[in-house]
Structure 1
Amino acid sequence: MDATHAADPSDPASAFAQEAANFRELLSAGRSPVFLQLFDFLLSRSQDERAPKEVEIALAVFGKDGAEGAVGDSAVRVYVHRLRKRLDDHYAGRAGHRLHIPKGEYRILLSAQTAAAMPDTTVRWPGLPRWRVSTYIGVIALLLAANIAIWWLVAPARPPGDPALQLRSTSFWHPLALDKPSLVVTGDAFLLAEAEQQKDIKRLILDPAIRSRSDFGSYLTNHPDAFYSLYDLDLHYTPVGTAVATWSILPVVHALHSARGSEPLLVPSSRLRPAALESNDIVYVGRLSSLGLVAPPLFQASGFTWDQADGILKDRRSGKAYSDVPPSGQESQLRRDYGYIASFSVPSGRHILVIAGLGDRGVESMAQLVTNPVEIGQLAGQRAATRSFEALYEVKSMDNVALDRTLLLVRPLRSAAPMPARPRSGR
């Protein structure tokens, strides 16, 4: 802490106010009104018994539209994460009082750390310069990542009893040709930034109709008034559940390809190109709302319709609708999500596997299902689970922890019709 901003260490309230003033001055110098508003709001709520919820922060910092938009909660998490990192950077290597945002909470607290309690931040090796621990850990992380990558490439073929290879015999996984690299497509969303005076970002926008840079170009052509307010900053949002599920699926797809000497490729759905649907098998992992180019061939063959605007999956035959939106005020109680899987071919002869859900719990539960040889084998044993089929599961969870899943239906899929040509548009 600077001498000019010294605080009485015996008075926590005085120290808290001084540290807050110092950090606020730093944010003001950075000319970032969003971070400043977020910091001030969290500061004002830090003494409350209950930490504010994401929707409260979205309303206070991003305005009413930010809270109601689909990206409201994600914007809050992104900015809080960045604010927490700015605090960590600000206090790096310092002793004394510091502000911090606890993990899992949206409030700012004061903690004290004496010089004696601080760990030695250097690593001393004979004949070598002194490295900071953070640098040393970074080097170790890079080496570990390199070793994992090397192992990934040169690992020997797995034994026949390996669960990943047992999956190959099921009707869900068997249709993958493996003659070319399969694309593991992760469901993400293309974000736009709304800025004032081409400088300060006011909010982030997730528009289901704008899935890519090409879509954004088409949108600007039809809405020229948005040219100076909406910007493509190459921002993409992937839900945590999709990332966790993808981490579970990648080793399986890699093991299947290893037997053929090929490697799968990882592609975000917002960057998937139409040609890929014609030339590669695809394993989609993510929310149904992020299917992108996978959606048209899937719902041409499916017995469901998908309402992108409302996030509702509807059965064509029964008319029953499925949504993961919980009742108001019951976010922490038992709630229902829905998981969906499909395995089908497109007119080009390539095959698409869909491992999806309406929400995070549905996506994660389906990833667990399709990577379990016993459970996916039981599903594959049903008459309706042919080479092309779909299945819907109800997934119950409590406080974001999946409790169980129940099969609601499984049925064959119709043959997918040829996809219409996608119009070209400028970037």
Structure 2
Amino acid sequence: MESRGEDYNERLIAGAARLRDSGRLGRSDPLIRLFDYLLESSLAGRIPKEIEIAQEVFGKDSNFDIMQDASVRVYIHRLRRKLEDFNTKLAPEEDRILLPLGEYQLTLARGAEPEAPAVNPDEAGPEPELLPEPARKPRLSRFWIVAGLFLLVNAGGWLAYPLLGGADPSAAIVRSPVWQPIARSRNPSFIVGGDYYIFGDSPDTFNVSRLVRDFSINSRDELDVLRMTNPYARDHYLDLDLSYLPVSIGPALRELLPVATSAGSKTGVRPQVTRMSQVTPEMLKNTNVIYVGFLSGLGILRDPLFRASGFKIGGNYDELIDKANGRRFDSDWAVVADGKTPQRDYAYIASIPGPSGNRIMIISGTRDAAVAQAAQIMVDPEQLAEIAAKTKGDAFEALYEVRTLGSVNLSSSLIVARPIRSAGIWHPEEMQRR
């Protein structure tokens, strides 16, 4: 095993001290114990096994089954997220503590040297230099190998995209009146995936037995409120800093990213991708937001959107009701799910001005098939032209019926496309006076 030397260990210890002093590890005793254990093991040049961590950090006995109990992997994931968040706050030249995927060892990455003032801003900065570390056996699971290949393929595609030359295939789409508010804007854009907060249920406050999705609990703060008022929640529910995205968001992003990039070319900044749980009021005010996801995942966009919309949510997010005539549009996905019977979903698209002249675009649906179809509609010049012809306004909404069979979209048909009154939606008291 190659020795990393005293300097490496001293820098790792110093980095660990900075992390502890920052408070970024939070108040979770199991998480702090895990960090201290991995630090001690890494300083000794030892890579512990999952069973060792379970027994020495979490007090598991020899009967612990890593296939049935994911508590170690859950806390490793939480710690990795904490480290990544802390590293984003460091100066470029500062050392970073990393917890590589598939490994139970802390490593140190040397920060970049301060750049000279004359660096071309279009050139990428140097990658952090990994300090020497002991040789070890690979521990990557098949999941992480597949995930890594997926990310590499997508990254390669985006690196090659500006080098392909020729006409931009997205140009005709961006010229549509539907995309023009973003194309004319000088605000940066965010593509926002509608994610869902999940938390852990634990019999002993640190061993997670199951993951819970509660539609009434959508953030760590809301979980804290529940824990203050509910004895069971106080004793069993844990924030794991986890959320999930519907599977349709991946294909939808593949369709939308080139168009959103072309639409935002005036700013010189590519659109960033984030999750709804990370969206702040400042982002809604200062950036263009392109939401992609279920109607149930709209988060802080839900109230202003449905103040303007001609629809309202029905008994659940699978149902929309026309406010004017009471007509109901109800997805039957939850009723018919045998994969052999055609199903009906609804894709919903809307565009409204933001609170400071920016643009909020909604590309959504009741379920996965509808979200994927909504994304395809937004990159189809003919369907965009149909929407523009029917709405003739700066703010609009459109509803499509989507017919599916299993995971295959069979067809879609436009039900309604209409302008909507967006004045005052960010100030509901003004709308009440109208």
Query: What is the TM-score when the length of structure 1 is the normalising length?
Result: 0.62
- Paired residues of 1:157 and 1:258 also in contact (CA < 8 A): no
Q: Report what 1:171 is aligned to.
A: 177
Q: 1:379 aligns with which of 365, 373, 387?
A: 387
Q: Amino acid of the residue matched to residue 171 of structure 1? A: P
Q: Distance in 2 between matches of 1:345 and 1:248?
A: 23
- Paired residues of 2:308 and 2:421 also in contact (CA < 8 A): yes
Aligned residues: 300
Q: Report what 1:401 is aligned to.
A: 408
1:30/1:400 CA distance change after superposition, 3 Å: same
Q: Percent of counterpart pairs with the same letter? A: 30
Q: Amino acid of the residue matched to residue 346 of structure 1? A: G
Structure 1 residue runs of 5 or longer lacking an equivalent are 1-26, 36-85, 87-128, 422-427
Q: 1:417 aligns with which of 420, 424, 430?
A: 424
Q: CA deviation at 1:34?
A: 5.8
Q: Match of 1:397, SS?
A: strand
Q: Are residues 1:30 and 2:65 paired?
A: yes
Q: Report what 1:291 is aligned to.
A: 298
Q: Report what 2:284 is aligned to.
A: 277
Query: What is the TM-score when the length of structure 2 is the normalising length?
Result: 0.61
Q: Report what 1:43 is aligned to.
A: none
Q: Distance in 2 between matches of 1:188 and 1:143?
A: 23
Q: 1:210 aligns with which of 204, 213, 217?
A: 217
1:197/1:142 CA distance change after superposition, 3 Å: closer
- Paired residues of 1:346 and 1:418 also in contact (CA < 8 A): no
Q: Amino acid of the residue matched to residue 173 of structure 1? A: W
Q: CA deviation at 1:180?
A: 2.3
- Paired residues of 1:33 and 1:200 also in contact (CA < 8 A): no
Q: CA deviation at 1:306?
A: 1.6
Q: Amino acid of the residue matched to residue 364 of structure 2? A: A
Q: Distance in 1 between matches of 2:315 and 2:380?
A: 30
Q: Within 5 A, what are the aligned runs for 1:45-64? A: none
Higher mean displacement: 233-242 or 211-220? 211-220
Q: Distance in 2 between matches of 1:411 and 1:404?
A: 21
Q: Distance in 2 between matches of 1:145 and 1:279?
A: 28
Q: CA deviation at 1:147?
A: 4.4
Q: Distance in 2 between matches of 1:288 and 1:140?
A: 31
1:326-373 per-residue CA deviation (whole Å, 9 max, x = no partner) reads: 435655311101001001113322211111000011000110111112
Q: 2:366 aligns with which of 350, 358, 376?
A: 358
Higher relative contact order (CA 8 A, sep 6+): 1
1:56-91 per-residue CA deviation (whole Å, 9 max, x = no partner) reads: xxxxxxxxxxxxxxxxxxxxxxxxxxxxxx9xxxxx
1:199-226 per-residue CA deviation (whole Å, 9 max, x = no partner) reads: 4433322222322223323333443541
1:276/1:222 CA distance change after superposition, 3 Å: farther
Q: Match of 2:340, SS?
A: coil
Q: Amino acid of the residue matched to residue 367 of structure 1? A: A
- Paired residues of 2:188 and 2:267 also in contact (CA < 8 A): no
Q: Within 5 A, what are the aligned runs for 1:251-262? A: 251-262=258-269
1:223/1:357 CA distance change after superposition, 3 Å: same
Q: CA deviation at 1:156?
A: 5.5
Q: Match of 1:167, SS?
A: helix
Q: Report what 2:395 is aligned to.
A: 388
Q: Distance in 2 between matches of 1:158 and 1:232?
A: 47
Q: Match of 2:332, SS?
A: coil
1:211/1:419 CA distance change after superposition, 3 Å: farther
1:264-299 per-residue CA deviation (whole Å, 9 max, x = no partner) reads: 111101111122111111101111011111111111
Q: Report what 2:203 is aligned to.
A: 196
Q: Distance in 1 between matches of 2:418 and 2:356?
A: 23
Q: CA deviation at 1:310?
A: 5.3
